[in-house]
Amino acid sequence: MKAVVFPGQGAQRKGMGVELFERYPRLVEQADAVLGYSLHDLCTDGADRLIDTRYTQPALFVTGYLGYLDHEHRHGAPAMLAGHSIGEFVALAAAGALDFIDALRLVDRRARIMAAIRDGAMAAVIGPGRDEVDALIARLGVDGLEIANENSPTQTIVAGLSGEIDAFVERCRDAGTRAVRLRVSGAFHSRHMRPAAAEFAQALRETPFQPPRIPVIANVTARPHDAQIAEVMAAHLYSPVRWMQSVHTMLDAGVSEFVEIGPAPVLGPMIDEIRAGWRPPSRAAAGWPEFAAPPVGGEHAALVAALHALYGSASPAAADWAALWPRGVDVAGWPPLELAATPRALRRQIRRALETLIPAAASAQRADPSLHLHGRHP
């Protein structure tokens, strides 16, 4: 089974899309009319503008969409689609959830809104996994930072104010951890984008969406988009890109071939790394991606649902964790109660509890076939 994926900002290259512009002149003419400038000129002579968010995102969208048309014409439609950050809009248009021009108008509006949010920055941390980066942020004393992209087991992107990112990169260097500041103009996919999301949500509400003809995996949920596309894409601005979990979802669904359509092979190496550490789920565990509600039945169902809701809340409260904790003390391996000082540390504890409960529930389900997971029997 094949999936087609589209990269986000950072994949742009001078000269990208030129052969596609020649192959699809009418669509390029329509795009130029919407944008008010020549995409051909931008991609061939506008190197300075091509790294400006206002121009990068529309250029990546159009070249990605045209590249998909070309691929589909030659090889047929894939079984699944996904895109990293702005690439998700390409995936939605490719799936027919958005008209090409409607999608381009949204992307142009999004790019301009995001570019107006200043004093933000991002950095890539190379080597440690997501949990280690969480702990590193706290240990280095820059707790204002947030995880923005979970790209692979060894690449995590953090976002925050410019001064915080500079301090973090310097302290990482002193601590022997590789961190690289990215060439972006804002703290994308973090709380600093909430003002932009509030404005963008109105544009999304005014845009007609259709059910995708091909499943599109959402960055926010790492699950296929449903009827709430507009709401999810508004949250997309300030929510982490859960790329690693999205690839897990596609692998779990049976995807064996990934085709990246973009100016440079950005996602391919990440996917190779993710796939190397992925293990096919057991039948009982199938459908349990980290950020989706675990399909647990039986005596643990209510506790799992409550813990998952707390884990996903914007500001989980230690008091709520303390109230739920006694309900799992009879489960083997149940973590000790710790009233964490920060929401990030508290989420780590809640996730450990969920990871303990899920195998326990699976064991009970295997022992008693009358217990079922999402109505499915093994």
Report the catalytic residues.
85, 189
HSE (side-chain half, CA atoms, 13 Å) at 231: 5
Spell out the residues 6+ positions from residue 79 whose beta carbon is closer than 8 angstroms to its own: 1, 2, 3, 214, 215, 254, 255
Distance CA 118, CA 324 (A): 40
Residue in this structure with the two tokens 């790294």, named with its chain if needed: 51
Could you tell me if 19 and 269 are in contact, meaning their C-beta atoms sit under 8 angstroms apart?
no
Write the single-letter amino acid at 278: W
3-state secondary structure of 51: coil
CA distances from 310 to 346, 353, 361, 367, 373 (A): 10, 12, 19, 29, 21
Spell out the residues 6+ positions from residue 150 whose beta carbon is closer than 8 angstroms to its own: 130, 156, 240, 241, 242, 243, 244, 245
